[in-house]
Structure 1
Amino acid sequence: MLRLIPVLALLGLSACLTPRPRPLSPAATLPPLALEPATFGGSVSLAQQLAFAHEADPDGPRTVEALLEIDPAALRLAGFALGQRVFSLVWNGSALEEERDPRLPEQFQSRQVLRDVQLVYWPAETLRAALPPGWTLEDGPGHRALSHAGKAWVTVRYDGEPRWRGRAELVNAAEHYRLTIDSRPAED
């Protein structure tokens, strides 16, 4: 029975990651981001609780504990369900290394996770410089929006300053999910 619990947790996580119908507009295909870790502009080590809610998942949100470290050399992210590591990512600016539990669904895409982390935490000017033509990033106190053709496809709301402290909520209208991130320094 104890071996079944992590499997059930992974199945719950997969429910929010199952493929959904593609958006009607090609503009809703979000630009990939793969910025070098040094462009973050510092170092941070965070303990996080991530809650994923997909609009087609009536049983959401699904939660995962995570540890995130960003320094000039690398971004490292590890996710845990019921105390067991289910994935880890290391991005050094040129290669994305991934370890994943074999039960983690294929729909869990490391590049999308990297994109979301960078959309939430990277400096606005760095993000703007990496966006393809037609995409804009609005950034102000407590919020951020990634837009194309006048429509905000991704919005982020922040409760804390600096933005990696406290709660951040990313709403992805293109891929139909909400990600709530509760962060605190890992030393706390």
Structure 2
Amino acid sequence: MTTSMSRRLLLLTALLSACAAKPPAPSKLPALRLPPAALGSARFALSQRLSVTRLDMADQPPQRVDVQLQLDASGLLLAAFAFGQRVLLMKWDGIELIVQRHAMLPSEVDAERMLRDLCLTYWPADAVRAALPGGWAWVQTAAGQELQQLGQARLVIRRLDANIVEITNSTEGYQLLIESQAQEGA
């Protein structure tokens, strides 16, 4: 690894660690590992910019990462990049979640949370509802969808337009803005 690359990865680690200065509490939201087959004929091939803001640090600029996402009934493939380097690779086939992380990627970047958020964002509502444990509901609202526990919103997804999704997770303390563009040739 070159010195320049090492410096960029150290900077990325510092940026992401600053965003997670106080480690997030363990998730109290249900884990979701929905089978890709539940997507039916839906197919996604997207270039995305993810902007993450900690809710207790809303005055700080968001941390950003670029993502390539391919998702269809056969599986999910996600690659995250920062400073031109791949820092995360996730593969989900409905049976096994395979995660390759760059050594400099902070532990606060949690693949299980990412998979859950992807399931909530892209899978059909009926598949999400069927996978939730008792006391939880996936509810359509005027503003979007809410993951509710005993009637209280714990995570809210709003589709700001056809290419922008906003996830506000008050339980785990973050807001995620997902800006997507279809990949060329997809």
TM-score above 0.5, yes or no: yes
Partner SS, residue 88 of structure 1:
strand
Whether 2:23 is the aligned partner of 1:19: answer: yes
- 1:2 counterpart letter in structure 2: S
Identity of aligned residues (%): 35
* Structural mapping, 1:48-67, within 5 Å: 48-57=48-57, 58-67=59-68
TM-score (norm. length: structure 1): 0.88
* TM superposition shift of 1:142: 5.4
- The structure 1 residue matched to 2:165, chosen from 141, 152, 168, is 168
Alignment coverage as a number of residue pairs: 179
Gaps of 5+ in 2: none
* TM superposition shift of 1:16: 2.6
Partner SS, residue 9 of structure 1:
helix
User: Matched residues in 2 for 1:158 and 1:30: separation?
Assistant: 21
User: Matched residues in 1 for 2:183 and 2:17: separation?
Assistant: 27
The Cα RMSD (Å) is 1.8
User: Is the 8 Å Cα contact of residues 10 and 81 (structure 1) preserved in structure 2?
Assistant: no
User: Matched residues in 1 for 2:71 and 2:17: separation?
Assistant: 26
* TM superposition shift of 1:145: 0.4
- 2:24 counterpart letter in structure 1: R
Gaps of 5+ in 1: 23-27
Partner SS, residue 129 of structure 1:
helix
Partner SS, residue 4 of structure 2:
coil
User: Matched residues in 1 for 2:29 and 2:25: separation?
Assistant: 15
Q: What's the CA shift string for 1:58-115, capped at 9, x where partnerless?
A: 5331000000110111111110001111001000101000111100112211111100
User: Matched residues in 2 for 1:173 and 1:9: separation?
Assistant: 25
User: Is the 8 Å Cα contact of residues 14 and 104 (structure 1) preserved in structure 2?
Assistant: no
Partner SS, residue 56 of structure 2:
coil
* TM superposition shift of 1:140: 4.6
- 2:4 counterpart letter in structure 1: L
Q: What's the CA shift string for 1:95-138, capped at 9, x where partnerless?
A: 00011110011221111110011111111111001100110111
* TM superposition shift of 1:56: 3.2
User: Matched residues in 2 for 1:81 and 1:21: separation?
Assistant: 25
User: Matched residues in 1 for 2:164 and 2:43: separation?
Assistant: 19
User: Matched residues in 1 for 2:173 and 2:152: separation?
Assistant: 14
- 1:151 counterpart letter in structure 2: Q
Partner SS, residue 104 of structure 1:
coil
* Structural mapping, 1:145-164, within 5 Å: 145-160=146-161
- Indicate the residue corresponding to 1:25 in structure 2: none
User: Matched residues in 2 for 1:19 and 1:106: separation?
Assistant: 9
User: Matched residues in 2 for 1:187 and 1:20: separation?
Assistant: 36
Instruction: State the 4+ residue runs in structure 1 displaced beyond 4 angstroms.
Output: none
- 1:44 counterpart letter in structure 2: F
TM-score (norm. length: structure 2): 0.89
User: Matched residues in 1 for 2:182 and 2:80: separation?
Assistant: 16
- 1:9 counterpart letter in structure 2: L
* TM superposition shift of 1:13: 1.9
- Indicate the residue corresponding to 2:12 in structure 1: 9
